[in-house]
Amino acid sequence: MKKVLKNRGFKKMKVIISVFLIVLLFLGGCSSTAVFIDEDGETRPAEILAEQQRSTWVGVLLTIFPGIIWHGVGHRYAGNVEKAKEIEQMEMLSLLSGGVGAGLYYGGEESRKNGLEGLKISLYISAGTFGGLGALGFLGSWLYDIIYTPKAIEDHNKSLGVTREEGN
């Protein structure tokens, strides 16, 4: 086991994990913003923009891109910030699980190189489990945002008194 830890690849993995965790922290900070940028490029408080009508097509396009990177953008656009935060948290947990799976897989590769067969198999199984759960959570939260954003936008527009025919 000491050979695995002394290997040069372990230092690279520490750097990758550190960068990954820093990115997660930055993405987590994005969910706490209370200011939006409007069409004119001016920043406004979220309360002012919450009273504006939303387009279903724009919401769906936002869920696809940048939604693949930042899940919950569609619900945030629809004004449902609480649900957007839940979706973002699910994305963070899925990325964490995927990162753990990647680390375990890398550990299995190092064990294979150093002849630790028993450890290799258990690390590969654990990596597959964590990686699979991470992939399911990532895709699931993204698809949830894509599928349910139109309904959230319709609810938002109804709360403003705008019907579907008028608004979209």
Tell me whether residue 67 is in a domain.
Answer: yes
Asked if residue 108 belongs to a domain, the reply is yes
In a domain, 75, yes or no: yes
Q: What pLDDT is stored for residue 35 in this prediction? A: 58
Positive/negative CA dihedral, 90, 81, 36, 57: positive
| Alpha-carbon span 20 to 80, nearest angstrom | 28
Using the predicted structure, report yes or no on whether residue 75 has a pLDDT greater than 50.
yes
Structural domain includes residue 22: yes
Burial per residue of 128-162, b for 16 or more beta-carbon CB atoms within 10 angstroms, e otherwise: eebbebbeebbeebbebbbebbbebbbebbeeeee
Q: pTM here? A: 0.70
98 found inside a domain: yes
Of 38-42, 74-78, 150-154, the range with the lowest mean pLDDT is: 38-42
The answer to whether residue 58 is domain-embedded is yes
Alpha carbon 120 to chain centroid distance? 30
- Measure the CA–CA gap between 89 and 34, rounded to whole angstroms: 17
Overall domain count for the chain: 1
DSSP string, 125-143: HHHHHHHHHHHHHHHHHHH
Segment 103-142, tens digit of pLDDT: 999 899 888 888 888 888 999 999 999 999 999 999 999 9
DSSP state of 38: -
Asked if residue 19 is part of any domain, the answer here is: yes
Residue 85 in any domain: the answer is yes
Which has more confidence, 16 or 49? 16
